[in-house]
Structure 1
Amino acid sequence: MNTTLTTHSGFRFDVRGARPEDEPTVAEFFTHVTPEDLRFRFLGAVREVSHERLVAMTRSDDTHIHNFLAFAPDGMLIAVATLASDPADRRGEVAICIRDDRKHLGVSWELLAHVARYADEHGLETIESIENRENRAAIDLEREMGFTVTADPDDATLVLVQRKRGASLPA
Structure 2
Amino acid sequence: MNVSSRGVREMSHERLLAMTQVDHRATEHFLAFADDGKAIVATAMVACDPSMTKAEVAISVRAEDKHKGIAWEMLRHAARYAQSRGVETLESLESRENHEAIELEREQGFVAIPYPDDATLVLIRKDLRSA
TM-score (norm. length: structure 1): 0.65
Distance across 2 between alignment mates of 1:64 and 1:106:
27
- Alignment partner, residue 13 of structure 1: none
63, 70, 89: which one aligns with 1:126: 89
* Alignment partner of 2:31 out of 43, 60, 69: 69
Q: Quick one: distance in 1 between partners of 2:2 and 2:36?
A: 18
- Which amino acid letter does the alignment assign opposite residue 49 of structure 2? D
Higher helix share: 1
Alignment match, 2:11: none
- 1:95-148, CA deviations, whole angstroms, 9 ceiling, x for partnerless residues? 000001111110000110000000111100000001011111100110111100
Instruction: Indicate if the aligned counterparts of 1:125 and 1:164 stay in contact, CA closer than 8 A.
Output: yes
Aligned residue among 86, 90, 99 for 1:136? 99
Matches within 5 A, 1:89-104: 89-104=52-67
Give the C-alpha shift of residue 72 in structure 1: 1.7
Total equivalences in the alignment:
122
- For residues 133 and 31 of structure 1, the distance between their equivalents in structure 2, rounded to whole angstroms, comes to 21
Aligned partner of residue 153 in structure 1, secondary structure: coil
What does 1:7-156 align with in structure 2 at a 5 Å threshold?
30-31=1-2, 56=19, 59-61=21-23, 63-75=25-37, 76-156=39-119
Determine helix, strand or coil for the equivalent of 1:128.
strand
Q: How far, CA to CA, are the matches of 1:59 and 1:167 in structure 2?
A: 33
- Equivalent-residue separation in structure 2 for 1:166 and 1:63 (angstroms): 20
Following TM superposition, the consecutive aligned residue runs of length 4 or more in structure 1 with deviations greater than 4 angstroms are 50-53
Name stretches of at least 5 consecutive residues in structure 1 with no aligned partner.
1-29, 33-46
Highest Rg: 1 or 2?
A: 2
* Contiguous gaps of at least 5 residues in structure 2: 9-14
RMSD over aligned CA atoms reads 2.3
1: distance between equivalents of 2:52 and 2:85?
8
2:121 aligns with 158
CA separation of 1:167/1:100 partners in 2, compared to 1, >3 Å: closer, same or farther?
Answer: farther
SS in 1 for 2:109: coil
CA drift of 1:59 comes to 3.8
Q: 1:163: how far off?
A: 0.6
| 3-state SS of 2:97 partner | coil
